[in-house]
């Protein structure tokens, strides 16, 4: 399953997160896959797509970032290609 993860950086300061990633990496539990990410030009938010079959892996991952000035919003999403397969039979 795919998840859109929206990270919000306290005071639009993503430097502590990037420093932590430089030393510790993404710290992904086994079974959680990073797909891609995009950062707003003002550094306030990062949008990541993650893949896993068990949402508890996302919880485990989020807990590793506590105290670093970032908060997370996690939204299950379906790709446009997969959505098209669902919608296609209903098109006239």
Instruction: Name the percent of the chain lying above pLDDT 70.
Output: 100
48: left (phi over 0), alpha (psi -120 to 50) or beta: beta
Query: Rounded CA gap, 19 and 11, in Å?
Result: 16
Is pLDDT of 89 > 90?
yes
The string of pLDDT tens digits covering residues 44-86 is: 999 999 999 999 999 999 999 998 999 999 999 999 999 999 9
Query: What's the pLDDT at 15?
Result: 92
Domain coverage including residue 21: 2-90
CB atoms within 10 A of CB 36: 8
The answer to whether the CB of 11 falls within 8 A of the CB of 69 is yes
User: Could you tell me the CATH number of the domain that includes residue 9?
Assistant: 3.30.70.260
Is pLDDT of 2 > 90?
yes
Query: What's the pLDDT at 49?
Result: 98
Query: Rounded CA gap, 82 and 84, in Å?
Result: 5
Question: Mean of the per-residue pLDDT values for the chain?
Answer: 94
Query: What's the pLDDT at 92?
Result: 81
* Domains held by the chain: number: 1
Residues 6+ apart with CB under 8 A from 17: 7, 9, 65, 68, 69, 70
């Amino acid at each position: 399953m795919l998840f859109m993860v929206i990270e919000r950086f306290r005071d639009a300061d993503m430097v502590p997160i990037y420093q932590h990633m430089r030393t510790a990496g993404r710290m992904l539990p086994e079974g959680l896959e990073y797909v891609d990410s995009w950062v707003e030009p003002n550094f306030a938010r990062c949008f990541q797509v993650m893949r896993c079959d068990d949402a508890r892996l996302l919880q485990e991952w989020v807990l590793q970032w506590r105290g670093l000035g970032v908060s997370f919003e996690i939204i299950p999403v379906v790709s446009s290609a997969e959505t098209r397969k669902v919608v296609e039979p209903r098109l006239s």
